[in-house]
Amino acid sequence: MAVLEIVTYPNSVLTRRAEEIEKVDREIRKLISDMVDTMYANGGIGLAAPQVGVSKRVVVVDVRLYDPSTSLISIVNPEVIAEGEEVVHEEGCLSVPGCVEGIKRRKWIKVRGLNERGREIEVEGEGMLAIALQHEIDHLNGKVVLDRMSRVKRDLYKKRLQKAKGRA
């Protein structure tokens, strides 16, 4: 299909809540396919539509590298309906390059949404799958990993970003 451009922080599409999808149609299925291609081309394990500049509630996740028992998952309008205890896990983000930090997440979650055919699904994830799903759903809610970091670390990253832009 197509590899799309990854939008990076501080682009405003990353800081606002993505729009609910009324109907899963050909356009949404193409978006899902392009997002999968983009995720793989960039070495990611998950991608949310805002990360490719589209303010729609769509995520794709593939953590088979960490858990071979899983498969590629795409969810439209995902919402967390159950969650387990907290854990801290080191995360990076394609939209926040160079930022890797320990982030508090839930060790296990259950998500409800729609599949690429518009049918309701529930996905339970633990470990890396749970982490990736939460990370991508954060993007749909206008949050990036920086929003889950301490203020000091967030400010350090922003200063590095400004310094790098000054050199460009």
Active site residue 136: yes
* Tokens standing for residue 91: 């995360």
Residues in a beta bridge with 67: none
DSSP string over 12-67: GGGGSPPBPPS---HHHHHHHHHHHHHHHHTT-SEEEGGGGT--B-EEEE--TTT-
Catalytic residue among 79, 83, 91, 136: 136
Phi and psi dihedrals of 104, rounded to 5? Answer: -75, 125
Between CA 92 and CA 97 the distance in angstroms is 8
Q: For residue 116, which of 40, 34, 17, 6 has the smallest C-alpha distance?
A: 34
Between CA 48 and CA 34 the distance in angstroms is 11
Residues with a known catalytic role: 136
